[in-house]
Structure 1
Amino acid sequence: MASTIRQVLQLSLEELTKDELKKFCARLLDRERVGEPRVRRRALEDKDEVVIADVLVSTFTGAKAGSVVVETLQAIQCNHIAARLEAELANLNPQGSRPSANSMIPTSKARPGEHFVDKHRSALIQRIRRFPPILDKLMDLKVLSQEEYDAIMAIPTSQEQARLLYNGALTSSGTAGKDIFLSVLEESEFHLLQDLRT
């Protein structure tokens, strides 16, 4: 089992295909955050996972490097690897800050213990335009029962569908259901989530 953040990041990067690793590096080079250092192209060009992990840790520091990698993996639709990395980082440093969807929003906006989908309830209800594909995925992932799915789909507007989802299935399924909802949104509403996180 990996014992340092650098090793955990390296192992996660080794799970990527060559094409995914190229996308990861390209997305990392495009990353611009006020007050954050930038990764230089020369530092990543033709480098393997060991060197890339080292560059990430030396550029962002350990804890921040973990959240940067999770965010970048999500951006290139490698959500399963991102989720596994989050769990490994949490196990590595249970007292430290875990890079999750909540930690990627500015701390001034997040209340302690408040889930991302609760914090941004109003914005998500108003701004998600195509709700049926999200509901289909939630049904596949067993967040919704057939009865809940049918009731929500019978409602004509996406805003009302979202409200019923929040008031029903997301409330009753707790954090686990909200985590699944967030992972579905990562795939279908990536740009909206990025906007809410900035």
Structure 2
Amino acid sequence: MASTIRQVLQLSLEDLTTDDLKKFRASLLDREREGEPRVRRRALEDKDEVVIADVLVSTFTDAKAGSVMVETLRDIACNRIAARLEAELENLNPQGSRPSADSMIPTSKARPGEHLVDKHRSALIQRIRRFPPILDKLLDRKVLSQEEYDAIMAKGTSQEQARLLYNGALTSSGTAGKDIFLSVLEELEVHLLEDLRRS
């Protein structure tokens, strides 16, 4: 079993097909996030999984490399590998393997203990329009049971669906469920989240 972040990342990279590994390298090179270091093309071009894992850790540090890789895997639609990597990182380092959702809130606007999905509850309920794909992913990632999923899908509007999700599964699943919900929103509602963070 892998015992370091680098080994966990390397093993996940080895699960990618040759084409997906090319897409992963390209997506990582295209990645531009404020305040993050940039990966140089020469560091990744034609490199294997061992070198790519080393580049991730040396560029983003042990604390951030895992979350960068998960986001990049989701960018190239390797969601199953991304979910497995998230679980492995959580087992390896429950406190430090992934950034908490609260760390994504600008410091000046965050209240102690307040999760981003709680802070913007009303706006998210009103502004998420395509709720079924979000619910599908929450079901796949075990935030929702089949019974909860069916009850939410039976609601007539996306606002009613969102309210039932907040009042049920997101409340009972705690921070872990909210973190998963946030990662799904990062994937499917990225422009909405960016707008909320700027507001």
Task: Give the TM-score band, short-chain normalised.
Answer: 0.7 to 0.9
User: Quick check: 1:142 aligned with 2:141?
Assistant: no
User: Quick check: 1:159 aligned with 2:159?
Assistant: yes
Aligned residue in 2 for 1:125: 125
Contact kept? 2:105, 2:116, Cα under 8 Å: no
Once superposed, what is the RMSD of the aligned Cα atoms? 3.1
Give the Å deviation of 1:139: 6.5
- Structure 1 residues 70 and 32, CA gap change in structure 2 (3 angstroms): same
Give the TM-score taking structure 2 as reference length. Answer: 0.76
- Structure 1 residues 115 and 20, CA gap change in structure 2 (3 angstroms): farther
Identity among equivalent pairs (%): 77
Gaps of 5+ in 2: none
Give the TM-score taking structure 1 as reference length. Answer: 0.76
Q: Report the Cα distance in structure 1 between the residues aligned to 2:128 and 2:17, rounded to whole angstroms.
A: 31
SS of 1:122's partner is helix
User: Quick check: 1:43 aligned with 2:43?
Assistant: yes
- Structure 1 residues 127 and 26, CA gap change in structure 2 (3 angstroms): farther
Gaps of 5+ in 1: none
Q: Report the Cα distance in structure 2 between the residues aligned to 1:147 and 1:8, rounded to whole angstroms.
A: 37
Residues 38-187 of structure 1 mapped to structure 2, 5 A cutoff = 38-94=38-94, 96-100=95-99, 102=101, 105-106=104-105, 108=107, 114-135=114-135, 142=145, 144=148, 146-150=150-154, 152-153=155-156, 155=157, 158-172=158-172, 174=174, 178=178, 181-182=181-182, 184-185=184-185, 187=187
Contact kept? 2:152, 2:164, Cα under 8 Å: no
Q: Report the Cα distance in structure 1 between the residues aligned to 2:86 and 2:25, rounded to whole angstroms.
A: 19
Give the Å deviation of 1:29: 0.8
Q: How many pairs does the alignment contain? A: 193
